A and B are shown apart, each in its own frame.
Chain A
Amino acid sequence: MKGAKPIRVNRAFGAIVEGEALVSTEGFSPRYDLDRWSGLISRPGHALEGHNIRDKILITPSAKGGIAAGWAFYDIRAKGIAPKAFVFGVTNPVMVQGAVFAGITITEGWSADPYQLIRTGDIVRVDPQKKTLVLVRRAAT
């Protein structure tokens, strides 16, 4: 989208990806919150309960506990239900180790609050080389 300034991310790994944003106001764990057979956020009461993370660019403020997440990313990637990228406000090493092991793009930190700019359904691009998160176009309304 012309005129939308890219958001800078602090740290990044992976390939450049473009896809539909899934924006969460709540932190995320693939072990606590996710049904690892369908890709649906399954924990009752989670801000994204009922949404599917498959092929999405998941934007979430924080990571939650859980060493088991390291294998979980590899598992969901093999099952074809992984997101294209994880965009975290703050994350922890487990998420990074898991994403690197599975070959999923991951970033941490942002120069501007993405919640002001990006909504679920918008198309966004994550560029780990340039360390940017860009709004490509708004969701069809």
Chain B
Amino acid sequence: MRLNAEEKKMLRGDLGRAVQEALQLQFEVGKFFGAKRFVPVSNVHMMGDIEVMGDAGKSFLERAAQSGAKCRQPTTTNARCIDFAHVARLQQDPDEARKEKELIACLRRMDVITADTCINYQTLYQPHLGEHVAWGDTGTVIYANSVFGARSNFEAGPAALAAGLTGRVPAYGFHLDEHRRGTFQVNLKADLDDLADWGAIGKIVGSGHQDYYAVPVFSGFKRVPTADELKQLGAALASYGSMGMFHMVGVTPEAPTLKAAFGGRKPKEVMTISNRDIEKVYAGYDKQNNPLNLVVFSGPQQSLFEMKTLAALLKGRKVAKGSQLFITTSNGVKSAAKELGYLQDIEQSGAMVLEGVCFYILQNLPQMRVREGWSNLVTNSAKLANIIGAHKFNTILRRTAECVDIACTGRDVR
């Protein structure tokens, strides 16, 4: 890997130990992937909370903060594991909540903007075509690459923090033109009227192609999708398929035509998704004779538009006795929803709206599951349905209005 004068200084330790260790990490990762150089990044988004970092990660961060290290580029944080207003109600561990506060203080000392959202691309920063960024949370990366035409690899917490400290990343993967071309084609013949339908596509396509460098090109769709629909599609592709990029002909900036999306190459495969395929996804879930007493809208956090939809669906209704409905969003969206009256309609139903968190990384979730007698988790997020398995939930993907009906009746009409 070629290093410029500044990078050599960093590696020598001239800019402090934290920067040196950060560049060493990036150098090794770059070598692994055959990167030839570094590229500067203009924005960083990192995951850092006590549930994912553990005590060891927290100690690492404390050492870095104590050394006086500061991020050189604007760096924001992803959703975390505690909404401090609800620690007592969710019976989360006060000791872990204290650690989370210490961790947040550490990040702020390092000039990290603790925005705590996994929808930064909707609420905080929209990079332009060709802009290099270093983002974490796979859903943010696939959105940046695909919808904005920006350039990022999946940057895990320590790697994103390293990018914040050095202001650069090794140039491999989606920073290079060669990995951004489509590899296979997906014809969308289904109606796709609900957010969950877009997530179901991500499940079908992602499960069959678990490869970071597989880039699907979507064509033939009946209607131009909204940002929230692309968010569900991307999050699910990244979750089921570990994918970092897709194209949609006539929609995403690097796919003005089918030919352009493939960059002159032929698709390795052409698949078609019909209404029947989507219905098969829904039919594949089974409540296993356990109660439907937990419904969750999270993973990714809800946009203001999704909050509006949920408010309309929940207005005047009540969550069924013995059931619980959770919604997670960002601080900014929750504030706006309050101003607009959406929050009141949602909360009057008995639903709990958490800010700055994602449901699946909630501190103490495994214990909460046992205590509350949860077995099934119903959601309109295909990503959430996939990732929460390690916590031993049986998940059920349903359309948005069906999820609200299940929350209010405890019954699934399917």
Q: How far is the CA of A100 from the CA of B244 in the complex (A)?
A: 21
For the A-B complex, the count of residue pairs with Cβ-Cβ distances under 8 Å equals 144
**Residue in A12, A35, A65, A70 whose CB lies within 8 Å of B240:** A65
Residues of B within 8 A of A71 (CB): 47-48, 52-54, 57, 156-158
> Are A101 and B212 neighbours in the complex by a CB distance under 8 Å?
no
Contact: A94 with B154, CB < 8 Å?
yes
Interface check A1, CB cutoff 8 A = no
Of the listed residues A11, A69, A72, A94, the one surrounded by the most CB atoms of chain B closer than 10 A to its CB is: A94
User: Shortest beta-carbon distance, A61 to chain B, in Å?
Assistant: 8
Q: Is the CB of B136 within 8 A of A70?
A: yes
When the two chains form their complex, are residues A63 and B159 in contact, meaning their CB atoms are under 8 A apart?
Answer: no
Most buried by B among A13, A68, A79: A68
Question: Which of A13, A42, A62, A71 has the most C-beta atoms of chain B within 10 angstroms of its own C-beta?
Answer: A71
Chain A residues whose CB sits within 8 angstroms of the CB of B137 once the complex forms: 67
Chief secondary structure at chain B's binding surface: helix
A: contact size bracket: 35 or more
Q: Is A3 positioned at the interface, with any CB of B under 8 Å from its CB?
A: no
Query: Contacts A44-B392, A70-B136 hold; do A93 and B156 have CB atoms under 8 A apart?
Result: yes
Q: Report the separation of the CA atoms of residues A63 and B212 in the bound assembly, to the nearest whole angstrom.
A: 9
**Which residues from chain A contact B155 at a C-beta distance below 8 Å?**
67, 93, 97
Given that A32-B386, A70-B158 are contacting pairs, would A78 and B28 also be in contact in the complex, using a CB cutoff of 8 Å? no
In the assembled complex, B352 has its CB within 8 A of some CB on chain A: no
Within 8 A of B (CB), among A1-49: 11-13, 27, 29, 31-36, 42-44
B94 interface residue (CB < 8 Å to A): no
* B212 engages A97 (CB within 8 Å): no
Q: Is the CB of B56 within 8 A of A96?
A: no
Asked if A13 and B136 sit within 8 Å, CB to CB, the answer is no
* A residues less than 8 Å from B78 (CB atoms): 67
Residues B52 and A78 in contact, CB atoms below 8 Å apart: no
A68-115 contacts to B, CB under 8 A, are: 68-72, 74-75, 77-79, 90-94, 96-98, 100-101, 106, 108
With A32-B387, A63-B242, A71-B52 known as contacts, the answer to whether A98 contacts B156 (CB < 8 A) is yes
A34, chain B: closest CB distance, angstroms:
6
Asked if A93 meets B53 with Cβ closer than 8 Å, knowing A44-B392, A68-B361, the reply is no
* Interface positions of A (Cβ within 8 A of B): 11-13, 27, 29, 31-36, 42-44, 61-72, 74-75, 77-79, 90-94, 96-98, 100-101, 106, 108
* 9 contacting pairs across A/B (C-beta < 8 A): A36-B54, A63-B212, A70-B136, A70-B156, A70-B158, A71-B52, A78-B55, A93-B155, A101-B159
